[in-house]
Structure 1
Amino acid sequence: MLIVLAGLPASGKSTIARALAVRLPAAVVAVDPIDDAMRRAGIGADQPTGLAAYMVAEAVAEDVLAAGLPVVVDAVNAVEPARQQWRRLAARRGVPMVVVEVVCPDPGAHRRRLEGRSRGLTDLPEPTWDHVSRRAAEYEPWTEPVLRLDSALPVDANVEVVLRELAGPDRR
C-alpha cells in the first residue's frame, strides 16, 4: 500500500507519518531530508533540488513497495505533477493508494509550529511564514477523495483515523 501524506509545511505531516509507520509498520519516505542530503552533497540551491528530491523519493518508495512493504510518503504534494507521480507509482506496483491531507486550521498555531520547529536539517533552510502563505495560495485541490486530518487533534487520534480508513472493506 502507498500512503501519501500531503499538506503545507509544518502542518504536522512528519509527526503523523512517523507515528503511522510505527503502527503499521511501514517505511517512511520523506522528501525534505532527501533534499537536504542533496544540498549537503554539494548540489546547489540554484538547482531543481525539490523536483529531484521527489524523484529520488519515488525511486526509494518503488524499491520498498517492490519488497512488499507499505510506504508512507511525507511531502507537501501541493501540485498535480507531484500527485500524479504517486498515482503512477501505485499503478505500476499494483498497490492501493490512500491520500491523507494534514491541515492545521488555526493560522496562529500553524505559524507558531513552523517558527518553533527544528528538524535537524543542515542545508535545507526552514521555510518562513511568508513562504508557507505563498504555498497555501498555490496549493491545488485534490481530484480524488482524501482523508483530511486536523493536526490540532492528538497524533494518536489521527493515526487511529488513518488505521480505520486503511482497514475499511475496500482496502482488503
Structure 2
Amino acid sequence: MLIVMAGLPATGKSALAARVAVELRCTVLSVDPIEAALWRAGVDRDQPTGLAAYVVAEDLAREQLRIGGDVIIDAVNDAGLARRQWRSLADEQRVEVAFVEVVCADPEEHRRRLENRRRELKGFPEPTWEEVRARTPGFDGWDDERITVDSMRSLDENVTRTVDYLRGCRGR
C-alpha cells in the first residue's frame, strides 16, 4: 500500500507518519529531508529542489513497493499534480493508495506550533506563517477519498483512527 500524508507544514504529519509506520511496519519517505540532502550535496537552492525531492521520493517508493513493502510519503502534497503523482505510482505498481490529510483546526495553535518548530534538518529553513497560509488553496477542490485527522486531538487517538482506516483500505 502507498500511504500519502497531506497537510500544511506544522500540522503534525511527520509525527503521525512515524507512529503509523511503527504500527504498520513500513517505510516513511519524507520530502523535506530529501530536499535538505540535495542542498548539502551542493545542488543550488535556485534549482527546483522541491520538485526533485518529490521525484526522488517517488523512485524510492517505487522500489519499496516493487519488493512488497508498504510506504508512507510524508509531504505537504498541496498540489493536485503531486497527488496525481502518487495515484499514478500506485496504479503502476498495482497497490492501493490511501490519503491521510492532517489538519490543525485551531489556527492560533497551528501558528504557535510552526513558530516553535525545531527540526533536525540542517540548513532547512522553516516557512513563515504567511507562506504556510499561502499554500491553503492547494487543497481547495481536493476530492480524493481520504481520512482527515485533526492534530488538536491526541496523537494516540489519531494513530488509532488512521491505522484502522488504512487497514480498512486494504483490498478495496
Q: Give the TM-score range, shorter chain.
A: over 0.9
Within 5 Å, give how 1:18-167 maps onto structure 2: 18-167=18-167
**TM-score, with normalisation over the residues of structure 2?**
0.96
Matched to 1:171, the amino acid is: R
Cα offset, 1:144, TM superposition:
1.5
Q: Secondary structure at the match of 1:148?
A: strand
> Aligned residues, how many?
171
Distance in 2 (CA, whole Å) between partners of 1:89 and 1:138 is 21
Distance in 2 (CA, whole Å) between partners of 1:137 and 1:165 is 26
Distance in 2 (CA, whole Å) between partners of 1:162 and 1:126 is 26
Cα offset, 1:143, TM superposition:
2.3
- Decide whether the 8 Å contact of 1:4 with 1:86 is kept in 2: yes
Q: Which runs of 5+ in 1 are unaligned?
A: none
Distance in 1 (CA, whole Å) between partners of 2:97 and 2:164 is 15
Label 1:139 to 1:166 Cα distance change in 2 as closer, same or farther (>3 A): closer
Distance in 2 (CA, whole Å) between partners of 1:11 and 1:36 is 20
Distance in 1 (CA, whole Å) between partners of 2:125 and 2:45 is 10
Please, what is the CA RMSD of the aligned residues?
1.1
- Decide whether the 8 Å contact of 1:80 with 1:140 is kept in 2: no
Name the structure 2 match of 1:171.
170
Matched to 2:170, the amino acid is: R
Q: Secondary structure at the match of 1:167?
A: helix
Report Cα offsets for 1:3-60 as digits up to 9, x if no partner: 0000000010000000000000110000000000001111111110000000000001
- Decide whether the 8 Å contact of 2:11 with 2:110 is kept in 1: yes
- Decide whether the 8 Å contact of 1:79 with 1:140 is kept in 2: no
Distance in 1 (CA, whole Å) between partners of 2:58 and 2:117 is 26
**TM-score, with normalisation over the residues of structure 1?**
0.96
